[in-house]
């Protein structure tokens, strides 16, 4: 049997869609900042219409990730809180990794593209590399110098 699969086959184990993950991550972010989450807050942060937010929040409610009643605050369940925390950590890890690589333009877009497809094993390896550069700052400075020298050569 071949070791290759289509993208969809690799992604079958995901319980949440990328859109559901984005909403949950944003709900978690807003919760950390305000301790209250409203549909309009999510709509403002994600630049979408409140009606779209309501539909997604109802889906996440049906998956027992959050509790939602019309015109009330949105509350994360224990599972939603844990998943939200994991999603935000994943986002921040990918973002920091791309910063280390020297990506400056479209870093948010690239983070979004990567974070929904990355495996936990790869994410852990990124975290180790990030910790390495935090601990050995001289190595990070050397990497930055190398990147600058390579950039100026092109």
**Strand duo 75-76 + 66-67: pairing:** antiparallel
* The pLDDT value given to residue 91: 96
Residues 6+ apart with CB under 8 A from 16: 24, 63, 65, 83
Q: What is the mean pLDDT of each run of 10 residues along the chain (154 residues)?
A: 52 74 96 95 96 96 92 92 94 96 92 92 96 95 90 67
Task: State the pTM of this model.
Answer: 0.83
Please report how the helices 78-101 and 120-135 are oriented relative to each other, as an axis angle in degrees rounded to 10: 60
At residue 4, the pLDDT reads: 57
Measured in degrees and rounded to the nearest 5, phi and psi for residue 67 equal: -115, 125
Helix axes 50-62, 18-34, angle to 10 degrees: 100
Rounded to the nearest 5 percent, the helix, strand and coil shares of the chain are 70, 5, 25
Res 39: pLDDT: 96
Rounded CA-CA distance 10/26 in Å is 25
In eight-state DSSP terms, residue 65 is S
């Amino acid at each position: 049997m071949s070791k290759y699969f289509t993208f969809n086959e690799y992604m079958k184990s995901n319980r949440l869609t990328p859109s559901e993950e984005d909403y949950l991550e944003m709900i978690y972010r807003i919760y950390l900042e305000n301790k209250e989450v409203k549909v309009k807050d999510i709509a403002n942060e994600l630049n979408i219409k409140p009606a779209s937010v309501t539909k997604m929040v109802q889906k996440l409610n049906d998956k027992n990730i959050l509790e939602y009643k019309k015109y009330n605050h949105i509350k994360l369940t224990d599972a939603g809180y844990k998943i939200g925390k994991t999603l935000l950590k994943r986002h921040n890890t990918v973002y920091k990794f791309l910063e280390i690589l020297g990506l400056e333009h479209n870093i948010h877009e690239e983070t979004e593209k990567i974070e929904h497809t990355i495996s936990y094993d790869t994410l852990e390896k990124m975290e180790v590399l990030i910790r390495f550069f935090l601990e050995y700052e001289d190595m990070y400075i050397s990497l930055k110098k190398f990147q600058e020298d390579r950039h100026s050569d092109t």
